[in-house]
Protein backbone atom coordinates (compact mmCIF):
# COMPACT_ATOMS: atom_id res chain seq x y z
CA UNK A 1 0.00 0.00 0.00
CA UNK A 2 2.86 2.36 0.92
CA UNK A 3 4.45 1.71 -2.49
CA UNK A 4 1.19 2.38 -4.27
CA UNK A 5 0.60 5.66 -2.46
CA UNK A 6 4.24 6.60 -3.02
CA UNK A 7 4.01 5.85 -6.75
CA UNK A 8 0.76 7.78 -7.13
CA UNK A 9 2.07 10.85 -5.29
CA UNK A 10 5.29 10.73 -7.29
CA UNK A 11 3.46 10.43 -10.58
CA UNK A 12 1.18 13.35 -9.74
CA UNK A 13 4.19 15.46 -8.66
CA UNK A 14 6.20 14.70 -11.84
CA UNK A 15 3.20 15.35 -14.13
CA UNK A 16 2.51 18.55 -12.19
CA UNK A 17 6.11 19.65 -12.56
CA UNK A 18 6.23 18.95 -16.30
CA UNK A 19 2.89 20.62 -16.97
CA UNK A 20 3.68 23.65 -14.81
CA UNK A 21 7.14 24.05 -16.38
CA UNK A 22 5.63 23.79 -19.90
CA UNK A 23 2.81 26.17 -19.04
CA UNK A 24 5.18 28.73 -17.46
CA UNK A 25 7.47 28.59 -20.49
CA UNK A 26 4.48 29.02 -22.83
CA UNK A 27 3.09 31.97 -20.89
CA UNK A 28 6.48 33.66 -20.71
CA UNK A 29 7.13 33.05 -24.40
CA UNK A 30 3.85 34.60 -25.50
CA UNK A 31 4.22 37.45 -23.06
CA UNK A 32 7.68 38.32 -24.36
CA UNK A 33 6.50 37.74 -27.95
CA UNK A 34 3.79 40.38 -27.38
CA UNK A 35 6.33 42.80 -25.85
CA UNK A 36 8.69 42.34 -28.80
CA UNK A 37 5.92 43.16 -31.26
CA UNK A 38 5.13 46.27 -29.25
CA UNK A 39 8.82 47.30 -29.36
CA UNK A 40 8.96 46.77 -33.12
CA UNK A 41 5.90 48.98 -33.53
CA UNK A 42 7.43 51.68 -31.38
CA UNK A 43 10.76 51.57 -33.19
CA UNK A 44 9.05 51.62 -36.58
CA UNK A 45 7.03 54.67 -35.64
CA UNK A 46 10.13 56.58 -34.35
CA UNK A 47 12.13 55.61 -37.40
CA UNK A 48 9.32 56.46 -39.82
CA UNK A 49 9.27 60.04 -38.47
CA UNK A 50 13.06 60.37 -39.19
CA UNK A 51 12.79 58.77 -42.63
CA UNK A 52 9.82 61.02 -43.56
CA UNK A 53 12.04 63.98 -42.68
CA UNK A 54 15.51 62.98 -43.85
CA UNK A 55 14.86 60.24 -46.37
CA UNK A 56 17.39 57.40 -46.72
CA UNK A 57 20.04 59.45 -44.82
CA UNK A 58 18.07 58.79 -41.64
CA UNK A 59 19.42 55.24 -41.59
CA UNK A 60 23.03 56.43 -41.26
CA UNK A 61 22.48 57.28 -37.63
CA UNK A 62 21.17 53.76 -36.84
CA UNK A 63 23.21 52.17 -34.04
CA UNK A 64 25.06 48.95 -34.85
CA UNK A 65 23.00 46.87 -32.42
CA UNK A 66 19.67 48.15 -33.72
CA UNK A 67 16.97 45.71 -34.85
CA UNK A 68 16.97 44.82 -38.53
CA UNK A 69 15.52 47.65 -40.60
CA UNK A 70 14.49 47.31 -44.25
CA UNK A 71 13.36 50.20 -46.50
CA UNK A 72 11.27 49.12 -49.48
CA UNK A 73 10.26 51.04 -52.52
CA UNK A 74 6.67 51.20 -53.75
CA UNK A 75 7.42 48.43 -56.29
CA UNK A 76 8.89 46.13 -53.72
CA UNK A 77 12.57 46.86 -54.47
CA UNK A 78 14.68 46.89 -51.34
CA UNK A 79 16.28 50.35 -51.02
CA UNK A 80 18.10 49.75 -47.71
CA UNK A 81 18.75 46.94 -45.24
CA UNK A 82 21.08 47.37 -42.27
CA UNK A 83 21.85 43.61 -42.11
CA UNK A 84 22.17 42.68 -45.79
CA UNK A 85 23.25 43.96 -49.13
CA UNK A 86 20.10 45.57 -50.60
CA UNK A 87 21.22 45.01 -54.16
CA UNK A 88 21.44 41.26 -53.64
CA UNK A 89 18.00 41.16 -52.03
CA UNK A 90 15.03 40.03 -54.05
CA UNK A 91 11.87 41.99 -54.57
CA UNK A 92 9.78 42.14 -51.37
CA UNK A 93 6.38 42.97 -52.84
CA UNK A 94 5.10 39.42 -52.24
CA UNK A 95 5.90 39.46 -48.52
CA UNK A 96 2.82 39.22 -46.39
CA UNK A 97 3.60 42.17 -44.08
CA UNK A 98 4.67 44.36 -47.03
CA UNK A 99 1.50 43.67 -48.99
CA UNK A 100 -0.55 44.36 -45.87
CA UNK A 101 1.34 47.67 -45.33
CA UNK A 102 0.81 48.72 -48.94
CA UNK A 103 -2.86 48.01 -48.64
CA UNK A 104 -3.71 48.93 -45.05
CA UNK A 105 -0.86 51.19 -43.95
CA UNK A 106 0.68 48.61 -41.55
CA UNK A 107 1.29 44.87 -41.56
CA UNK A 108 2.74 42.19 -39.37
CA UNK A 109 4.05 38.70 -40.08
CA UNK A 110 5.83 35.92 -38.26
CA UNK A 111 8.06 33.47 -40.09
CA UNK A 112 9.88 30.42 -38.75
CA UNK A 113 13.56 30.23 -39.52
CA UNK A 114 15.12 27.37 -41.46
CA UNK A 115 16.55 25.79 -38.29
CA UNK A 116 13.05 25.71 -36.82
CA UNK A 117 14.37 26.84 -33.47
CA UNK A 118 13.87 30.55 -34.20
CA UNK A 119 11.18 32.80 -35.58
CA UNK A 120 11.24 36.30 -36.98
CA UNK A 121 8.65 38.96 -36.22
CA UNK A 122 8.09 41.59 -38.90
CA UNK A 123 6.32 44.89 -38.57
CA UNK A 124 5.93 47.04 -41.72
CA UNK A 125 4.53 50.57 -41.97
CA UNK A 126 3.67 52.60 -45.10
CA UNK A 127 5.20 56.05 -45.26
CA UNK A 128 3.50 59.07 -46.72
CA UNK A 129 5.35 58.65 -50.04
CA UNK A 130 4.01 55.06 -50.39
CA UNK A 131 7.36 53.43 -49.52
CA UNK A 132 7.42 50.93 -46.69
CA UNK A 133 9.62 50.80 -43.62
CA UNK A 134 9.97 47.35 -42.02
CA UNK A 135 11.47 46.55 -38.66
CA UNK A 136 12.06 42.91 -37.74
CA UNK A 137 13.50 40.98 -34.87
CA UNK A 138 14.37 37.34 -34.39
CA UNK A 139 13.65 35.42 -31.23
CA UNK A 140 13.75 31.77 -30.18
CA UNK A 141 10.46 29.92 -30.79
CA UNK A 142 9.01 27.66 -27.99
CA UNK A 143 10.87 24.43 -28.89
CA UNK A 144 13.99 26.49 -29.44
CA UNK A 145 13.54 28.24 -26.16
CA UNK A 146 12.99 24.91 -24.39
CA UNK A 147 15.93 23.33 -26.22
CA UNK A 148 18.16 26.09 -25.04
CA UNK A 149 17.02 25.73 -21.46
CA UNK A 150 16.87 21.94 -21.37
CA UNK A 151 19.78 21.55 -18.99
CA UNK A 152 18.57 23.81 -16.17
CA UNK A 153 15.03 22.55 -16.70
CA UNK A 154 16.18 18.94 -16.36
CA UNK A 155 18.22 19.76 -13.26
CA UNK A 156 15.22 21.49 -11.69
CA UNK A 157 12.96 18.58 -12.69
CA UNK A 158 15.29 15.98 -11.17
CA UNK A 159 15.70 18.07 -8.05
CA UNK A 160 11.98 18.55 -7.74
CA UNK A 161 11.37 14.85 -8.43
CA UNK A 162 13.81 13.91 -5.68
CA UNK A 163 12.18 16.33 -3.24
CA UNK A 164 8.71 15.10 -4.16
CA UNK A 165 9.88 11.46 -3.84
CA UNK A 166 11.15 12.17 -0.35
CA UNK A 167 7.98 14.01 0.58
CA UNK A 168 5.83 11.32 -1.01
CA UNK A 169 7.66 8.73 1.06
CA UNK A 170 7.06 10.72 4.25
CA UNK A 171 3.44 11.36 3.39
CA UNK A 172 2.67 7.78 2.42
CA UNK A 173 4.34 6.56 5.59
CA UNK A 174 2.36 9.03 7.66
CA UNK A 175 -0.85 7.73 6.01
CA UNK A 176 -0.03 4.04 6.25
CA UNK A 177 1.58 3.90 9.69
CA UNK A 178 -1.65 4.41 11.67
CA UNK A 179 -3.31 1.74 9.50
CA UNK A 180 -0.49 -0.69 10.26
CA UNK A 181 -0.86 0.05 13.93
CA UNK A 182 -4.60 -0.74 13.94
CA UNK A 183 -5.57 -3.15 16.73
CA UNK A 184 -7.85 -5.54 14.86
CA UNK A 185 -8.59 -7.44 18.05
CA UNK A 186 -10.56 -4.38 19.22
CA UNK A 187 -11.46 -2.72 15.89
CA UNK A 188 -13.89 -0.19 17.34
CA UNK A 189 -11.38 1.21 19.83
CA UNK A 190 -9.18 2.54 17.00
CA UNK A 191 -9.71 6.20 16.15
CA UNK A 192 -7.55 6.66 13.10
CA UNK A 193 -9.45 7.89 10.04
CA UNK A 194 -13.13 8.61 9.83
CA UNK A 195 -13.08 7.07 6.36
CA UNK A 196 -12.19 3.60 7.65
CA UNK A 197 -14.63 3.67 10.57
CA UNK A 198 -17.31 1.74 8.55
CA UNK A 199 -14.67 -0.85 7.65
CA UNK A 200 -13.67 -1.24 11.30
CA UNK A 201 -17.32 -1.56 12.32
CA UNK A 202 -17.75 -4.28 9.72
CA UNK A 203 -14.60 -6.09 10.91
CA UNK A 204 -15.87 -5.83 14.49
CA UNK A 205 -19.22 -7.30 13.49
CA UNK A 206 -17.60 -10.11 11.54
CA UNK A 207 -15.20 -10.83 14.39
CA UNK A 208 -18.07 -11.14 16.83
CA UNK A 209 -19.84 -13.46 14.40
CA UNK A 210 -16.70 -15.56 13.90
CA UNK A 211 -16.21 -15.78 17.68
CA UNK A 212 -19.82 -16.85 18.11
CA UNK A 213 -19.48 -19.46 15.37
CA UNK A 214 -16.21 -20.78 16.81
CA UNK A 215 -17.80 -21.02 20.26
CA UNK A 216 -20.79 -22.85 18.76
CA UNK A 217 -18.53 -25.25 16.86
CA UNK A 218 -16.43 -25.83 19.99
CA UNK A 219 -19.52 -26.47 22.10
CA UNK A 220 -20.81 -28.94 19.53
CA UNK A 221 -17.43 -30.63 19.36
CA UNK A 222 -17.25 -30.83 23.16
CA UNK A 223 -20.74 -32.29 23.36
CA UNK A 224 -19.82 -34.79 20.67
CA UNK A 225 -16.60 -35.70 22.54
CA UNK A 226 -18.40 -36.09 25.86
CA UNK A 227 -21.00 -38.34 24.27
CA UNK A 228 -18.50 -40.45 22.36
CA UNK A 229 -16.02 -40.58 25.24
CA UNK A 230 -18.71 -42.00 27.50
CA UNK A 231 -19.57 -44.68 24.99
CA UNK A 232 -18.35 -48.14 25.82
CA UNK A 233 -18.44 -48.87 22.13
CA UNK A 234 -15.40 -47.94 20.09
CA UNK A 235 -16.14 -45.29 17.52
CA UNK A 236 -14.00 -44.26 14.53
CA UNK A 237 -14.81 -41.97 11.59
CA UNK A 238 -12.49 -42.12 8.60
CA UNK A 239 -12.28 -40.38 5.26
CA UNK A 240 -12.09 -42.11 1.90
CA UNK A 241 -8.27 -42.32 2.17
CA UNK A 242 -8.55 -44.26 5.50
CA UNK A 243 -7.40 -41.18 7.46
CA UNK A 244 -8.92 -41.01 10.93
CA UNK A 245 -11.14 -37.92 11.39
CA UNK A 246 -12.53 -38.73 14.83
CA UNK A 247 -12.39 -41.50 17.41
CA UNK A 248 -13.02 -42.17 21.09
CA UNK A 249 -10.81 -43.73 23.73
CA UNK A 250 -12.82 -46.99 23.72
CA UNK A 251 -11.79 -47.43 20.07
CA UNK A 252 -8.14 -46.96 21.03
CA UNK A 253 -8.48 -49.51 23.81
CA UNK A 254 -10.24 -52.11 21.70
CA UNK A 255 -8.00 -51.69 18.64
CA UNK A 256 -4.93 -51.75 20.88
CA UNK A 257 -3.73 -48.39 19.52
CA UNK A 258 -1.86 -45.56 21.20
CA UNK A 259 -3.15 -42.00 21.48
CA UNK A 260 -1.66 -39.81 18.73
CA UNK A 261 -1.83 -36.10 17.99
CA UNK A 262 -0.68 -36.73 14.41
CA UNK A 263 -3.10 -37.52 11.62
CA UNK A 264 -2.95 -41.20 10.79
CA UNK A 265 -4.58 -43.98 8.87
CA UNK A 266 -7.00 -46.30 10.65
CA UNK A 267 -4.86 -49.14 9.27
CA UNK A 268 -2.07 -47.96 11.59
CA UNK A 269 -4.38 -48.37 14.60
CA UNK A 270 -4.73 -52.09 14.03
CA UNK A 271 -2.62 -53.99 11.57
CA UNK A 272 -4.49 -57.31 11.56
CA UNK A 273 -5.39 -58.53 8.09
CA UNK A 274 -9.03 -59.14 8.96
CA UNK A 275 -9.39 -55.55 10.14
CA UNK A 276 -7.73 -54.23 6.97
CA UNK A 277 -10.17 -56.28 4.91
CA UNK A 278 -13.12 -54.74 6.77
CA UNK A 279 -11.79 -51.22 6.09
CA UNK A 280 -11.28 -52.04 2.40
CA UNK A 281 -14.78 -53.51 2.14
CA UNK A 282 -16.51 -50.55 3.80
CA UNK A 283 -14.62 -48.04 1.65
CA UNK A 284 -15.74 -49.94 -1.42
CA UNK A 285 -19.29 -49.14 -0.34
CA UNK A 286 -20.31 -52.28 1.51
CA UNK A 287 -22.04 -52.32 4.88
CA UNK A 288 -20.11 -54.78 7.07
CA UNK A 289 -21.15 -56.45 10.33
CA UNK A 290 -18.73 -59.05 11.59
CA UNK A 291 -17.02 -60.54 14.64
CA UNK A 292 -13.32 -60.04 15.24
CA UNK A 293 -10.97 -60.90 18.10
CA UNK A 294 -8.60 -58.15 19.26
CA UNK A 295 -6.23 -59.81 21.69
CA UNK A 296 -8.35 -61.43 24.41
CA UNK A 297 -11.43 -59.36 23.55
CA UNK A 298 -14.16 -60.53 21.21
CA UNK A 299 -15.58 -57.62 19.26
CA UNK A 300 -18.46 -57.07 16.94
CA UNK A 301 -17.71 -54.54 14.23
CA UNK A 302 -20.38 -52.60 12.38
CA UNK A 303 -18.88 -50.58 9.53
CA UNK A 304 -21.02 -48.23 7.45
CA UNK A 305 -19.89 -46.37 4.34
CA UNK A 306 -20.78 -42.66 4.19
CA UNK A 307 -21.95 -41.29 0.85
CA UNK A 308 -21.85 -37.71 -0.31
CA UNK A 309 -23.49 -36.80 -3.62
CA UNK A 310 -23.41 -40.42 -4.67
CA UNK A 311 -19.69 -40.82 -3.94
CA UNK A 312 -18.13 -42.59 -0.94
CA UNK A 313 -16.68 -39.89 1.27
CA UNK A 314 -15.66 -42.04 4.25
CA UNK A 315 -16.94 -44.54 6.78
CA UNK A 316 -18.11 -44.90 10.37
CA UNK A 317 -16.93 -47.91 12.36
CA UNK A 318 -18.56 -49.02 15.61
CA UNK A 319 -16.68 -51.59 17.65
CA UNK A 320 -18.61 -53.40 20.38
CA UNK A 321 -16.84 -55.39 23.05
CA UNK A 322 -18.96 -58.54 23.28
CA UNK A 323 -16.48 -60.61 25.31
CA UNK A 324 -18.70 -60.68 28.41
CA UNK A 325 -21.77 -61.42 26.34
CA UNK A 326 -19.98 -64.28 24.63
CA UNK A 327 -18.76 -65.59 27.99
CA UNK A 328 -22.28 -65.27 29.38
CA UNK A 329 -23.70 -67.11 26.43
CA UNK A 330 -21.06 -69.80 26.82
CA UNK A 331 -21.88 -70.08 30.53
CA UNK A 332 -25.58 -70.30 29.81
CA UNK A 333 -24.98 -73.01 27.24
CA UNK A 334 -22.87 -74.96 29.74
CA UNK A 335 -25.43 -74.34 32.48
CA UNK A 336 -28.27 -75.64 30.31
CA UNK A 337 -26.22 -78.72 29.41
CA UNK A 338 -25.34 -79.29 33.08
CA UNK A 339 -28.91 -78.80 34.29
CA UNK A 340 -30.19 -81.23 31.66
CA UNK A 341 -27.58 -83.74 32.71
CA UNK A 342 -28.26 -83.30 36.45
CA UNK A 343 -32.00 -83.66 35.85
CA UNK A 344 -31.57 -86.70 33.69
CA UNK A 345 -29.78 -88.79 36.33
CA UNK A 346 -32.51 -88.80 39.04
CA UNK A 347 -35.23 -88.98 36.39
CA UNK A 348 -33.60 -92.08 34.84
CA UNK A 349 -33.47 -93.67 38.31
CA UNK A 350 -37.11 -92.79 39.02
CA UNK A 351 -38.18 -94.07 35.63
CA UNK A 352 -36.13 -97.29 36.13
CA UNK A 353 -37.58 -98.04 39.57
CA UNK A 354 -41.11 -97.30 38.42
CA UNK A 355 -40.68 -99.57 35.39
CA UNK A 356 -39.45 -102.49 37.52
CA UNK A 357 -42.44 -102.08 39.85
CA UNK A 358 -44.78 -101.77 36.89
CA UNK A 359 -43.40 -104.95 35.26
CA UNK A 360 -44.11 -106.82 38.50
CA UNK A 361 -40.45 -107.70 39.11
CA UNK A 362 -40.54 -106.33 42.64
CA UNK A 363 -41.67 -108.49 45.48
CA UNK A 364 -44.43 -106.87 47.53
CA UNK A 365 -42.17 -106.64 50.60
CA UNK A 366 -39.56 -104.67 48.52
CA UNK A 367 -42.07 -102.16 47.14
CA UNK A 368 -41.52 -99.78 50.09
CA UNK A 369 -37.82 -99.84 49.57
CA UNK A 370 -38.22 -98.93 45.88
CA UNK A 371 -40.79 -96.26 46.68
CA UNK A 372 -38.30 -94.79 49.17
CA UNK A 373 -35.64 -94.62 46.45
CA UNK A 374 -38.08 -92.98 44.07
CA UNK A 375 -38.93 -90.44 46.81
CA UNK A 376 -35.25 -89.70 47.47
CA UNK A 377 -34.53 -89.14 43.77
CA UNK A 378 -37.63 -86.97 43.48
CA UNK A 379 -36.42 -84.91 46.46
CA UNK A 380 -33.07 -84.49 44.73
CA UNK A 381 -34.91 -83.30 41.66
CA UNK A 382 -36.93 -80.80 43.69
CA UNK A 383 -33.79 -79.46 45.42
CA UNK A 384 -32.05 -79.14 42.08
CA UNK A 385 -34.97 -77.41 40.41
CA UNK A 386 -35.30 -75.06 43.41
CA UNK A 387 -31.59 -74.18 43.21
CA UNK A 388 -31.83 -73.61 39.47
CA UNK A 389 -34.80 -71.31 40.02
CA UNK A 390 -32.92 -69.38 42.73
CA UNK A 391 -29.85 -68.99 40.50
CA UNK A 392 -31.97 -67.80 37.57
CA UNK A 393 -33.79 -65.31 39.77
CA UNK A 394 -30.52 -63.95 41.16
CA UNK A 395 -29.08 -63.87 37.65
CA UNK A 396 -31.92 -61.84 36.31
CA UNK A 397 -32.23 -59.70 39.45
CA UNK A 398 -35.94 -60.48 39.58
CA UNK A 399 -36.08 -61.01 43.35
CA UNK A 400 -38.07 -58.49 45.39
CA UNK A 401 -35.54 -55.93 46.54
CA UNK A 402 -36.91 -54.88 49.87
CA UNK A 403 -34.42 -54.09 52.57
CA UNK A 404 -35.35 -54.41 56.21
CA UNK A 405 -33.53 -54.05 59.49
CA UNK A 406 -32.14 -57.47 60.37
CA UNK A 407 -30.54 -58.62 63.58
CA UNK A 408 -27.74 -60.86 62.32
CA UNK A 409 -27.51 -62.77 65.58
CA UNK A 410 -31.22 -63.62 65.55
CA UNK A 411 -31.10 -64.60 61.87
CA UNK A 412 -28.11 -66.94 62.38
CA UNK A 413 -29.77 -68.41 65.48
CA UNK A 414 -32.88 -69.23 63.44
CA UNK A 415 -30.82 -70.81 60.63
CA UNK A 416 -28.85 -72.97 63.06
CA UNK A 417 -32.09 -73.98 64.73
CA UNK A 418 -33.37 -75.23 61.38
CA UNK A 419 -30.14 -77.21 60.95
CA UNK A 420 -30.19 -78.87 64.35
CA UNK A 421 -31.72 -82.13 63.17
CA UNK A 422 -29.30 -82.54 60.29
CA UNK A 423 -26.34 -81.54 62.48
CA UNK A 424 -27.35 -84.15 65.02
CA UNK A 425 -27.56 -86.77 62.29
CA UNK A 426 -24.06 -85.82 61.08
CA UNK A 427 -22.70 -85.59 64.63
CA UNK A 428 -21.78 -81.93 64.19
CA UNK A 429 -21.93 -79.40 67.05
CA UNK A 430 -23.33 -75.96 66.30
CA UNK A 431 -22.06 -72.74 67.94
CA UNK A 432 -23.00 -69.09 67.56
CA UNK A 433 -20.98 -66.13 68.89
CA UNK A 434 -21.10 -62.39 68.57
CA UNK A 435 -23.17 -59.29 69.25
CA UNK A 436 -26.63 -58.38 67.98
CA UNK A 437 -25.43 -56.44 64.96
CA UNK A 438 -28.24 -54.88 62.99
CA UNK A 439 -27.96 -54.34 59.27
CA UNK A 440 -30.32 -53.03 56.65
CA UNK A 441 -30.49 -55.82 54.10
CA UNK A 442 -32.67 -58.10 52.00
CA UNK A 443 -33.28 -60.73 54.64
CA UNK A 444 -34.54 -63.57 52.42
CA UNK A 445 -31.40 -63.51 50.32
CA UNK A 446 -29.06 -63.23 53.30
CA UNK A 447 -30.93 -66.19 54.86
CA UNK A 448 -30.40 -68.20 51.67
CA UNK A 449 -26.67 -67.34 51.55
CA UNK A 450 -26.03 -68.23 55.23
CA UNK A 451 -28.20 -71.32 54.93
CA UNK A 452 -26.03 -72.65 52.09
CA UNK A 453 -22.79 -71.89 53.95
CA UNK A 454 -24.03 -73.60 57.15
CA UNK A 455 -25.43 -76.52 55.15
CA UNK A 456 -22.00 -77.05 53.54
CA UNK A 457 -20.36 -76.63 56.97
CA UNK A 458 -22.36 -79.63 58.17
CA UNK A 459 -22.14 -81.66 54.93
CA UNK A 460 -18.37 -81.41 54.59
CA UNK A 461 -17.62 -81.60 58.34
CA UNK A 462 -16.19 -84.59 60.16
CA UNK A 463 -18.18 -86.62 62.64
CA UNK A 464 -17.96 -84.92 66.03
CA UNK A 465 -16.69 -81.71 64.40
CA UNK A 466 -17.83 -78.18 65.22
CA UNK A 467 -19.62 -75.63 63.10
CA UNK A 468 -19.04 -72.17 64.51
CA UNK A 469 -20.86 -69.06 63.31
CA UNK A 470 -19.27 -65.81 64.52
CA UNK A 471 -20.71 -62.31 64.09
CA UNK A 472 -18.38 -59.30 64.28
CA UNK A 473 -18.74 -55.60 63.73
CA UNK A 474 -15.86 -53.78 62.10
CA UNK A 475 -16.46 -50.08 61.50
CA UNK A 476 -19.13 -49.74 58.87
CA UNK A 477 -18.97 -53.44 58.05
CA UNK A 478 -20.51 -56.52 59.59
CA UNK A 479 -18.79 -59.90 59.27
CA UNK A 480 -20.29 -63.32 59.59
CA UNK A 481 -17.89 -66.25 59.47
CA UNK A 482 -19.00 -69.85 59.10
CA UNK A 483 -16.19 -72.17 60.19
CA UNK A 484 -16.13 -75.97 60.07
CA UNK A 485 -13.60 -78.63 61.01
CA UNK A 486 -14.19 -80.78 57.96
CA UNK A 487 -12.33 -81.98 54.90
CA UNK A 488 -11.08 -78.53 53.82
CA UNK A 489 -10.55 -77.29 50.25
CA UNK A 490 -7.26 -77.17 48.33
CA UNK A 491 -6.08 -73.73 47.08
CA UNK A 492 -6.78 -74.77 43.43
CA UNK A 493 -10.32 -75.84 44.27
CA UNK A 494 -10.90 -72.69 46.32
CA UNK A 495 -10.66 -70.78 43.02
CA UNK A 496 -13.40 -72.85 41.40
CA UNK A 497 -15.92 -73.85 44.08
CA UNK A 498 -18.13 -70.82 43.32
CA UNK A 499 -18.64 -71.98 39.70
CA UNK A 500 -21.96 -73.55 38.86
CA UNK A 501 -21.99 -77.34 39.24
CA UNK A 502 -18.36 -77.40 40.33
CA UNK A 503 -17.78 -80.05 42.96
CA UNK A 504 -14.43 -81.16 44.36
CA UNK A 505 -15.65 -84.72 44.76
CA UNK A 506 -18.69 -85.29 42.57
CA UNK A 507 -19.76 -88.68 43.97
CA UNK A 508 -19.34 -87.53 47.60
CA UNK A 509 -21.36 -84.37 46.88
CA UNK A 510 -24.10 -86.41 45.21
CA UNK A 511 -24.15 -88.97 47.97
CA UNK A 512 -24.77 -86.27 50.54
CA UNK A 513 -27.42 -84.57 48.42
CA UNK A 514 -25.42 -81.70 46.92
CA UNK A 515 -26.39 -80.04 43.67
CA UNK A 516 -23.14 -78.17 43.00
CA UNK A 517 -25.13 -74.91 42.96
CA UNK A 518 -24.98 -73.93 46.66
CA UNK A 519 -21.86 -71.76 46.55
CA UNK A 520 -22.93 -70.33 43.22
CA UNK A 521 -26.10 -69.11 44.95
CA UNK A 522 -23.89 -67.76 47.78
CA UNK A 523 -21.77 -65.80 45.30
CA UNK A 524 -24.73 -64.32 43.41
CA UNK A 525 -26.64 -63.62 46.63
CA UNK A 526 -23.66 -61.80 48.15
CA UNK A 527 -23.32 -59.72 44.99
CA UNK A 528 -27.01 -58.86 45.19
CA UNK A 529 -26.51 -57.68 48.80
CA UNK A 530 -23.37 -55.74 47.97
CA UNK A 531 -21.43 -58.12 50.19
CA UNK A 532 -18.17 -59.96 49.72
CA UNK A 533 -17.45 -63.67 50.31
CA UNK A 534 -13.98 -64.90 51.18
CA UNK A 535 -12.78 -68.40 51.85
CA UNK A 536 -9.91 -69.59 54.03
CA UNK A 537 -9.33 -73.32 54.13
CA UNK A 538 -6.73 -75.99 54.89
CA UNK A 539 -7.12 -79.50 53.51
CA UNK A 540 -8.01 -81.95 56.25
CA UNK A 541 -8.46 -79.23 58.87
CA UNK A 542 -11.54 -77.32 57.83
CA UNK A 543 -12.82 -74.24 56.06
CA UNK A 544 -13.94 -70.76 56.99
CA UNK A 545 -16.30 -68.78 54.78
CA UNK A 546 -16.47 -65.08 55.64
CA UNK A 547 -19.29 -62.85 54.50
CA UNK A 548 -18.54 -59.10 54.74
CA UNK A 549 -21.73 -57.03 54.70
CA UNK A 550 -22.19 -53.29 54.41
CA UNK A 551 -24.26 -52.27 57.46
CA UNK A 552 -26.49 -49.74 55.84
Least separation, in Å, of the C-beta of 399 and ligand ADP?
A: 19
Angle at 487 between CA 486 and CA 489, to 5 degrees: 120
Find the shortest distance in angstroms from Cβ 458 to ligand ADP: 9
Sequence-distant (≥ 6) Cβ neighbours of residue 2 within 8 angstroms: 172, 173, 176
- Minimum CB separation from ligand ADP for residue 513, in Å? 8
Using the rule CB under 6 A, is 228 a contact of ligand ADP? no
Q: Which of 101, 487, 531, 549 binds ligand ADP (CB under 6 A)?
A: 487
- Phi/psi of residue 424, each to 5°? -60, -45
Nearest residue to ligand ADP, scored by beta-carbon proximity: 518
456 is an interface residue for ligand ADP by CB under 6 A = yes
Q: Cα torsion at 32, 35, 36, 37 (round to 10°)?
A: 130
Give the residue, chosen from 238, 244, 478, 489, that forms a contact with ligand ADP under the rule CB under 6 A: 489
Q: Residue 275: which residues within 8 A CB-CB, separation 6 or more?
A: 255, 267, 292, 301
Q: Is 314 in the site for ligand ADP (CB under 6 A)?
A: no
Separation CA 447–CA 333 (nearest Å): 29
Mark residues 493-512: x for contact with ligand ADP by CB under 6 A, - for none: ----x----xxxx---x---
Q: Of 457, 524, 531, 549, which one interacts with ligand ADP (CB under 6 A)?
A: 457
Cβ-based neighbours of 394, under 8 Å, separated by 6 or more: 445, 521, 524, 525, 527, 528
The reply on whether position 486 binds ligand ADP by CB under 6 A is yes
Helix (H) or strand (E) holding 226: helix 197-229
Least distance to ligand ADP from the beta carbon of 504, Å?
Answer: 3
Q: Rule CB under 6 A: is residue 270 a binding residue for ligand ADP? A: no
* Integer angstrom CA distances of residue 211 from 188, 200, 203, 217: 16, 16, 12, 10
Comparison of 131 and 523: residue with beta carbon closer to ligand ADP? 523
By CB under 6 A, what part of segment 106-165 binds ligand ADP? none
Closest approach of ligand ADP to the CB of residue 376, in Å: 16
Q: How many Å is the maximal CA-CA distance in the chain?
A: 203
Q: Which of 69, 319, 437, 517 binds ligand ADP (CB under 6 A)?
A: 517
Q: Which is nearer to ligand ADP, 481 or 520 (CB)?
A: 520
Give the residue with the Cβ less far from ligand ADP, 489 or 547.
Answer: 489
Cross-strand partners of 80: 71
Other CB atoms within 10 Å distance of the CB of residue 131: 21
Residues that bind ligand ADP (CB under 6 A): 452, 456-457, 460, 484, 486-487, 489, 497, 502-505, 509, 514-520, 543
Amino acid sequence: MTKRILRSILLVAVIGLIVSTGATMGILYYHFGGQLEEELRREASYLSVSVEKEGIEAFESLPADAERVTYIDTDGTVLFDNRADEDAMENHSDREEIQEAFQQGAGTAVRESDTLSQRTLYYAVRLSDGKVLRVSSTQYNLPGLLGGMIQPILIILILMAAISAWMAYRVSKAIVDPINKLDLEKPEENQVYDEIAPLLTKINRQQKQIKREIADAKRQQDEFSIITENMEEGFVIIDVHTEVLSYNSSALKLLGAEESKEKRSILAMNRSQEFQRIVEAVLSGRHVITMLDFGDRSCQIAANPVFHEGEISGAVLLILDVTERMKGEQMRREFTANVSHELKTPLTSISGFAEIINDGFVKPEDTRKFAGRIFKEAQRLITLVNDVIKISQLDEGKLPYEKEETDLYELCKEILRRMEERADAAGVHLYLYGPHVKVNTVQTILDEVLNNLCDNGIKYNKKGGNLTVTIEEDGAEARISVQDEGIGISPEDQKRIFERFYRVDKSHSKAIGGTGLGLSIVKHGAMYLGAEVKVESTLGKGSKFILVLPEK
